[in-house]
Amino acid sequence: MASHVFFNGRIVPEAEARVSVLDRGFLYGDGLFETMRVAHGRVFSWPAHVLRFERGLEILRMRCPFSADSLHASALELIRCCDVSRGLARLSVSRGVGIRGYSARGADHPTVVISVFPSEAGPRAEPLRWRVHVSRQRLLSGQDVSRSKTSSKLVQILARMEAEDAGADEALLLNERGELVEAAGANFFWISDGRVHAPPSDAGALPGVAARTLERVCERLTIPFERASLRPEGLGGVEGAFLTMSSQGVVELGSVDGTPLPRSDKVAKLWRDFEALVEEETKPAR
């Protein structure tokens, strides 16, 4: 965590960024956020993040008092102020203070926060490989809220806890149909028949910004990309599996509940090209 945050229009020391205990973000998880990669002091995929953020605002019917351009300028100013060249930026908005109860009526002053986190790890030579655990927490397909990155994340938190109990790094979640949907904090992909596969669009996964980057990488590498349904028992037959997330890019799945998954050259290649794309699109022109 860096020393300062953007808080409702001003950059202030982190200790001064405090919200009322009546803020609906704190009361009910009534808000949205974006976690974004910072490289070369810039925000990777800003347009895609802000587009999802704005769609989320529509679903939640919240009005952010700052324009997309002004948020971008503020994020860059904060990144400079905190001297973060590589790391993450988090943009969040909550509905602020309203009347008592779930009704959002009268809550017209959202709380907007941007925070930055310098990267602790150096550059890597190969993708991370994570152990994952199939969680007993479930996701529901076709739900409005799963299209936006909301601040109501207890299912994901409990899934991650279970995974940590099982000695794993991350949890995979199924939907009510028993399909693999996504990880607690990442999108899920697998490789079979030489193609990259992702769960069906209606399975209930968050439309990930890093997942969209991955699709662009597949296009560049002319690796076919398809949507399909996969159950945990189907993981035995895959050529490889991986996650995408803004913070880490591509992370290979090393094992699922203790059963090793094959190491895939394709995953390594996707990881490399994903990182190259981040470099390319954030590196200042000379």
With CB under 8 A as the contact rule, the residue among 94, 213, 264, 282 that binds a second copy is 94
Work out which of 105, 193, 194, 233 binds a second copy, going by CB under 8 A.
Answer: 105
Binding of a second copy by 88 (CB under 8 A): yes
Show the beta-strand stretches assigned E in 158-284. Answer: 170-175, 180-183, 186-192, 195-198, 225-227, 240-245, 249-256, 259-260
- State whether residue 251 is helix, strand or coil: strand
Helix orientation angle between 46-60 and 68-81, rounded to the nearest 10 degrees: 120
Q: Identify whether the C-beta of residue 259 lies closer than 8 Å to the C-beta of residue 213.
A: no
**Residue 110 CB, nearest approach to a second copy (Å):** 13
* Cα 238 from chain centre: 24
Q: Running DSSP on this structure, what letter comes out for residue 155?
A: H
Segment contacting a second copy by CB under 8 A, of 68-76, 108-116, 223-231, 235-243: 108-116
Considering beta carbons, is residue 85 or 143 the nearer one to a second copy? 143
Binding positions for a second copy, 243-262, rule CB under 8 A: 247
Give which of 157, 244, 239 is closest to 190, Cα–Cα: 239
State yes or no: residue 108 binds a second copy (CB under 8 A).
no
CA angle at residue 101 from 159 to 7, to 5 degrees? 70
**CB of residue 140 to a second copy, shortest distance in Å:** 5
In eight-state DSSP terms, residue 277 is H
| 161 touching a second copy, by CB under 8 A | yes
Cβ contact 242:180 at 8 Å: no
- Residue pair 129/248 in contact by the 8 Å Cβ criterion: no
Count the site residues for a second copy by CB under 8 A: 61
Report if residue 92 touches a second copy, rule: CB under 8 A: yes
By CB under 8 A, name the one of 45, 151, 244, 282 that touches a second copy.
151
Q: Does 137 bind a second copy (CB under 8 A)?
A: yes
Write the binding mask 186 to 225 for a second copy: x where contact by CB under 8 A, - elsewhere: ----------------------------------------
Q: Which two tokens stand for residue 222?
A: 């002319």
The one segment of 72-80, 154-162, 254-262, 270-278 that binds a second copy by CB under 8 A: 154-162
| Token representation of residue 209 | 């910004």
Q: Per CB under 8 A, which of residues 22..51 are in contact with a second copy?
A: 22-23, 25-31, 33
Q: How far apart are CA 7 and CA 183, in angstroms?
A: 30
Task: Examine residue 153 and tell whether it contacts a second copy (CB under 8 A).
Answer: yes
Is residue 79 within a helix (H) or strand (E), and if so which, with residue range? helix 68-81
Query: Does position 10 bind a second copy by CB under 8 A?
Result: no
Nearest distance in Å: CB 183, a second copy: 10
40 or 90: whose CB is closer to a second copy?
Answer: 90
- Distance between CA atoms of 191 and 92, rounded to whole angstroms? 34
Residue matched to tokens 């993040």: 49
**Amino acid identity, residue 203?**
A
The footprint of a second copy (CB under 8 A) covers 1, 5, 7, 14-15, 17-23, 25-31, 33, 59-61, 88, 92, 94, 100-105, 111, 113, 115, 117, 136-140, 142-145, 150-158, 160-161, 164, 176, 184-185, 247
